[in-house]
Amino acid sequence: MTSAPAGERTERIAAIDGLRALAFLLVFAFHSWQFAGTPDIPVISTVVAQNIRPDFFVVLTGFVLFLPFARDPSRLGRFRAGPYLNRRLRRIVLPYYAALAYAILLPQTLVLLMKLLGREASWQPWPSVGDVLSHVTFTHMFFPQYWSTINGSLWTMALEMQLYLLFPLVMLAAARWGLRAIVGAIVVSVLFRIGVDLFLGDADFSVVFLWAASGLGRLTEFAFGMLAAVVGFRVAGRVRPPHALAVLAVMVAAYFVATEPFFRGTVLPIRDFGLSVLFGGLIVLVLTVRPFGAAFAWRPVSWLGYRSYSLFLIHQPTLWYASEFLQKFLRVPEGVLLLILLWTVGFAAVLGVGLLLFVTVERPCITWAKRVPSSRAPAPASVVEAPGAAEAPVTDTAADGDAGDAPRPAEGERPPSA
pLDDT score for 411? 34
List, in sequence order, every residue forming a beta bridge with 289; answer none if it has no partner: 3
| Residue 302, burial from CB neighbour count under 10 angstroms (0-12, 13-18, 19+) | buried
pLDDT score for 391? 27
pLDDT score for 413? 33
List, in sequence order, every residue forming a beta bridge with 3; answer none if it has no partner: 289
- Cβ atoms 355, 54 nearer than 8 A: no
Task: Give the count of beta carbons closer than 10 Å to the beta carbon of residue 192.
Answer: 20
3-state secondary structure of 3: strand
pLDDT score for 407? 33
pLDDT score for 7? 40
As averages over each run of 10 residues, the pLDDT of the chain (418 residues) reads 42 79 93 95 86 88 91 87 94 97 96 88 91 97 94 94 96 93 96 92 86 95 96 86 94 92 82 94 93 94 96 97 94 96 97 98 94 59 28 32 36 33
- Cβ atoms 76, 175 nearer than 8 A: yes
pTM above 0.75, yes or no: yes
Q: Crossing angle, helix 155-177 and helix 53-71, to 10 degrees?
A: 30
Residue 31 one-letter amino acid: H
pLDDT score for 375? 52
pLDDT score for 1? 46
- Cβ atoms 279, 55 nearer than 8 A: yes
